[in-house]
Amino acid sequence: MFKKNNKVKVLLEMRPAFEGFAGIPQEVRLLFRGLRKIDSVEVEGMLQTSRRRLARGTINKENFFSRRLSSARRFARYSNVIISLIEKPQRNLLDSLTEYFSQRAELLALQLSLLVGFGSIKLSSFKSQSFEDFTWRTLFSKTLPASDFKLVATANHKICSISWHTLHMVGLGTLTWRLSSKAKYPKIDTSGFDIFIGQTPYPGRVTGRTQLIIRYHDAIPIFMPHTISDKSIHQATHFYALLDNVDQRAWFACVSEATRQDLIRVFPAAESRSVTIHNMVSHHYFNEDSSPALVAGIIRARLYGNDQDGKYDNDKNLIGLEPNFLTLREQENFYTKHLSSKPLKYLLIVSTIEPRKNHIRLLAAWEIIKADIDRDLKLVIVGTLGWDYKQIFSGFKSWIDRGEIFMLNAVPAPDLRVLYRHAAATVCPSVGEGFDFSGVESMACGGLTVASDIAVHVEIYDDAAEYFDPYSTLSLVTALKKVLYDETSQVREVQLREKGKEVSARYLPEKILPQWKQFLGRVVGVKSLENFQEQTHSTSNF
């Protein structure tokens, strides 16, 4: 099973890395980077999109029936893969109809293969040499510093042309024709890999001796389905894929012990095959001696709406993410007045704008503080518009028009580092999380963290945050007063900042990677990754 170099071969699902800046996309980039730094691991990414079909790359092994490609033809193949990722697949009605029927045919073909019980989805190859600019910009640049370019941009990848959504639909479709309470998912040909790491419940099975690891982020679609997007389909795809992963004896690397306990609550059988390995926090976040004068310029440059798509909601309706200005001069005078006329004091929240993140609670507490104690306190919101946000946004709108709330989007790590460092406090008010990067990132940058007292926050932030009841506005007001305005607030602030240094250091790559190394060794059935030559792998170890 093992190659001559005795390295563990890992295939890591990269799908989330095509998406946003924070959360799971960020963790995927950091994990790929981390695995590349482990000498005893050889990692490749699996390129797959949520909904779009990808062009095929080159075949992994040539045979009698395959045509040997010239260098020019290979480059053309890889170039077509890139185009299939970025070009809109439907340009007119005929294209749309063709795409629809091809997707239906693909679904039926995959379901037929499950019915007859043979066949697997073949992966093709994408060699990154000569295409490093694409892999860097598309997969890694939103999280990693330029110094990581050679480490990650040169890595090769496998391509799963069939979309993640299609795999889910195939699996859910089997619930009908199999008359079963369990879905069955297509096999992915993972031969040649010791381990496949899927992000969130994965709608596919592995082949051969490959071991499946699920990087499990949270059980929110099960326990809080009222807070998720596309509620019915999201909950179903999560649950049935997770059920199949458990039945296939997958291993689970949970991002927090709170998440692991949620998993075990639903599936007790997963207890012996699950571990907690916390997320890595990017080395991009550290306590930098930056000037607070930089904050105003960052806010001005990163306003949600500065990009072309930013002024539209999910239904492509124009919304008022900034005041309506008649002239450019009026606009500049407005921001000069509200951002540059005095030292900026602000609360910061970094999260997608959706119900679970509890922006409305923060807004209510901020309004009380602003009215009763500190009229100059502003609110800076960093994050994309998610789902079910219209009520949340309606609360922001009048304050946006008055220059008191600023909504930002696509903020790169160097700018976010400055915002964390100079915020009066970073508030993490969520009612449910799997990990929650923002509080730890704030601590790493020397900032002050105020967080809801949910189990995962208490676990991750430990005693380096001031806690409050996420269902009580008064509790949040009290917490903010304690760290910002009471007689003893300066003492408490110093305590939290000092504790923050200690706690945030727990999640640095150099602390987390040894845990991954040990876990991967356990999964492949040896005590450590250093003694492969002395050990013979056997599936009986499981």
Q: Mean per-residue pLDDT for 446-453?
A: 98
Whether the pLDDT of residue 526 is over 50: the answer is no
Residue for token pair 């040997």: 68
Taking the C-alpha atoms of residue 339 and residue 345, their distance in angstroms, rounded to an integer, is 10
In a domain, 165, yes or no: yes
SS3 assignment for 172-197: HHHHHHCCCCCCCCCEECCCCCCEEE
Q: Is there a single domain that holds both residue 246 and residue 304?
A: no
The predicted-structure confidence for 56-84, as pLDDT tens digits, reads as follows 999 866 554 446 778 898 999 999 999 99
pLDDT computed for residue 177 by the predictor: 73
Q: Is the dihedral of CA 48, 40, 21, 206 positive or negative?
A: positive
pTM higher than the cut 0.85: yes
- Local confidence band at 106 (pLDDT 50, 70, 90 cut-offs): confident
Q: Are residues 257 and 352 in the same domain?
A: no
Q: Are residues 305 and 260 in the same domain?
A: no
Q: Which helix (H) or strand (E) holds 484?
A: helix 473-484
Looking at per-residue pLDDT, the higher value among 482 and 282 belongs to 482
124-126 and 425-428 as β-strands: parallel, antiparallel, unpaired? unpaired
pLDDT band at 224 (very low <50, low <70, confident <90, very high): very high
Do residues 201 and 238 make contact, with C-beta atoms less than 8 angstroms apart? yes
Between 408 and 343, residue with greater pLDDT? 408
Confidence of residue 306 (pLDDT cuts 50, 70, 90): low
**How far is Cα 100 from Cα 106, in angstroms, rounded to an integer?**
10
Whether residue 542 is predicted with pLDDT greater than 60 in this model: the reply is no
Do 496 and 533 lie in one domain? The reply is no
d(CA 143, CA 120): 34
Q: What's the pLDDT score for residue 311?
A: 46
State the CB neighbour count (10 A cutoff) for residue 104.
10
Q: What is the mean pLDDT of residues 332-345?
A: 87
Q: Max CA-CA distance within the chain? A: 81
- For residue 415, being part of any structural domain is answered with yes
Q: Looking at residues 12-27, what average pLDDT do you find?
A: 92
The band of 149, judged by pLDDT with boundaries at 50, 70 and 90, is very high
Going by pLDDT thresholds of 50, 70 and 90, the confidence category of residue 98 is low
Whether residue 409 contacts residue 302, with contact meaning beta carbons closer than 8 Å, is answered with yes
> Do 210 and 166 reside in the same domain of the chain?
yes
SS3 453: coil
The domain that holds 501 is classified in CATH as 3.40.50.2000
Residues 501 and 513 occupy one common structural domain: no
pLDDT digits (tens, 9 = 90+) for 32-58: 999 999 999 999 999 999 988 899 999
Return the structure tokens found at 364: 């209510």
DSSP letter, residue 304: T
- Write the CB contacts of 144 (distance below 8 Å, at least 6 apart in sequence): 29, 30, 33, 152, 282, 284
Range 515-531 burial, b when 16+ CB lie within 10 A, else e: ebbebbbebbbbeebee
Q: Are residues 252 and 147 in the same domain?
A: yes
Whether residue 517 sits in one domain with residue 497: no
Using only the alpha carbons of the chain, give its radius of gyration: 25
Confidence of residue 99 (pLDDT cuts 50, 70, 90): low
Q: Do 231 and 370 fall within a single domain? A: no
In a domain, 289, yes or no: no
**Structural domain that includes position 437:** 294-505
In a domain, 537, yes or no: yes
Query: CB neighbours (10 Å) of residue 32?
Result: 26
Is 288 contained in some domain?
no
- Asked if residues 526 and 537 have their Cβ atoms less than 8 Å apart, the reply is yes
Q: Are residues 500 and 518 in the same domain?
A: no
Q: What's the number of domains the chain is made of?
A: 2
Residue 436 lies in a domain: yes
pLDDT value at 314 more than 60: no
Q: Residues 438-444: what's their mean pLDDT?
A: 97
Per-residue confidence band for 535, with pLDDT thresholds at 50, 70 and 90 = very low
Question: Which pLDDT value is given to residue 262?
Answer: 98
- pLDDT mean across residues, the chain: 88
For residue 41, what is the DSSP state?
A: E
In a domain, 384, yes or no: yes
From 40-49, 135-144, 215-224, 316-325, the region with the lowest mean pLDDT = 316-325
**Angstrom distance (rounded) from CA 473 to CA 478:** 9
Residues 129, 209: one domain?
yes
Does residue 378 fall inside a structural domain? yes
Residue 260 sits in the same domain as residue 127? yes
Would you place residue 284 in the very low, low, confident or very high pLDDT band (cuts 50, 70, 90)? confident
Question: What pLDDT was estimated at residue 180?
Answer: 77
